[in-house]
Amino acid sequence: MGAGEGVILELLKSECKKINGNIHENFQITGLSTDMNNLHGGELFVPIFHKDIDTKMLIKIAIEREVSAILVEDSISLPEQMPEQLVTFTAENVKGLIRKMAILHLHDVDPTVIAVTGSQGREITKEAIINILNMQFNVHYNVGQGDEIDLLTSILKMDKKTDMYVCDFTIDTNIDDIELKSKLVSPNYSVITNVRTEDNHFENLSMDIYKEAYSKIEAGMKASDVLVIDGDATSFQSEWQSDVITCGYDEGCLFKIQEVAVQEETTHFQVEGIRIPFQISIDKDAVKNVVFAIAVAVHLGLLPDDMNKVFEKISV
């Protein structure tokens, strides 16, 4: 992240009620971590998931891992004598502060943001997009399950040379989760993969409401942004606000899948209008999920010629 003298550090200074330690002229924060088991030197450690652990132990771990600083809620009691080499920021609303830092850093880096949501095959589509874009761009992506903290943490680990940020959105505890995350990252491209009835894990909600929640991925998008959807899903035929690309088997799909054939452990298929035949080493049910990725890449100007090379890396 490299936020030594930048807006992130200034935000911490202005928002935090108390600051301990020496912020010297070469002080830098290279990223953010909320997991004490996955800390790296130079990071800002935010132990929001370790509230049951003794603060002296947290400080000891932070020093051993050579983190730049630690950010804690003001409800946590810190020892009166803190190590001088560890900068400690104390704030009233840590999660809100992380959100502000992430938004600032995302705007500063200004990558093209590609968001993927849906239930069936979301991970395959995301992995295919990452592998294709890596051929030509500097790509950063979230590695967790797409909850808000995962997104915020991944944004704050983003290198300033990042061209593309690929993230996936899940519905966690609230049916409005997709809308909130879209407004957070403002996707330039969004993909809604297949949504299956059996994946509805919210009781007492109709499937129509469930699908509507995924449709809220447009909340942070502009009319000029691109939405890639399942052209075979009649339930997604609605008035969209952004530019829509459809993928599927039905007539009228912009990226129409043709000639699917399975030979041994390889699935072969073609996309209407693209002369290159494609092949993947995963089940034929994943073809549409890969085509979602092809649609995004082609719209970004990548040629299909070398895509088969990266499809070999995709696993279920």
The per-residue pLDDT for range 125-140, each reduced to its tens digit, is 999 999 999 999 999 9
What average pLDDT does the segment 183-197 reach? Answer: 85
pLDDT, mean of residues 70-91: 80
Q: Indicate the pLDDT class of residue 6, thresholds 50, 70 and 90.
A: low
Q: Tell me what pLDDT residue 195 has.
A: 67
Which range has the worst mean pLDDT, 113-122, 155-164, 178-187, 292-301?
113-122
- Measured CA distances, 38 to 43, 48, 167 (Å): 10, 14, 20
Q: What is the pLDDT of residue 50?
A: 61
SS3 sequence of 8-45: HHHHHHHHCCEEECCCCCCCCCCEEECCHHHCCCCEEE
CB 169 within 8 A of CB 126: no
Counting DSSP H helices and E strands in the chain, the numbers are 9, 14
Q: Provide the pLDDT confidence category of residue 3 given band limits of 50, 70 and 90.
A: very low
Mean pLDDT of 4-33: 80
Q: How big is the CA angle at 219 (ends 217 and 220), to the nearest 5 degrees? A: 95
pLDDT above 70 covers a percentage of the chain that reads 86
pTM of the model: 0.86
The pLDDT value recorded for residue 73 is: 84
Most confident of 14-18, 174-178, 296-300: 296-300
pLDDT digit string (tens) for 216-266? 888 899 999 999 998 887 666 667 889 999 999 999 899 999 988 888 888
CATH-assigned architecture of domain 7-100? 3-Layer(aba) Sandwich (3.40)
- Measured from the Cβ of residue 79, the count of other Cβ atoms closer than 10 Å reads 10
pLDDT for the residue 5: 41
Rg of the Cα atoms in the chain: 22
Distance, in Å, from the CA atom of 181 to the CA atom of 220, rounded to the nearest integer, reads 8
CATH topology of domain 111-311: UDP-N-acetylmuramoyl-L-alanine:D-glutamate ligase (3.40.1190)
Of 271, 238, 240, 241, give the one whose Cα is nearest residue 253.
271
pLDDT at 149: 83
Q: Which two tokens stand for residue 203?
A: 């009781």
Handedness of CA 172, 176, 181, 187 (dihedral sign): positive
Average of per-residue pLDDT values in the chain: 83
What gap in Å lies between CA 291 and CA 130, rounded to an integer?
A: 13
What pLDDT, on a 0 to 100 scale, did the predictor assign at position 289?
92
pLDDT band at 189 (very low <50, low <70, confident <90, very high): very high
Q: Any idea what DSSP says for residue 252? A: T
Q: Where in the chain is the domain with CATH 3.40.1390.10?
A: 7-100
Above 60 in pLDDT, residue 200?
Answer: no
Average pLDDT over residues 200-223: 72
Query: Which one of 38-42, 137-141, 234-238, 310-314 scores highest in mean pLDDT?
Result: 137-141
Look at residue 297 in the predicted model and tell me its pLDDT: 95
Q: Decide if pLDDT at 58 tops 50.
A: yes
- Is the pLDDT score of 160 beyond 70? yes
Q: Which residue in the block uniquely carries the two structure tokens 């010629």?
A: 305
Name the DSSP letter for residue 62: H
C-alpha 292/C-alpha 276 separation (Å) is: 16
Question: Rounded mean pLDDT of 187-207?
Answer: 69
Query: How far is 186 from 170, CA to CA, in rounded Å?
Result: 16
Q: What share of the chain is helix, strand, coil (3-state, %, to 5)?
A: 35, 20, 45
Span(s) in the chain for CATH 3.40.1190.10: 111-311
pLDDT of residue 60: 80
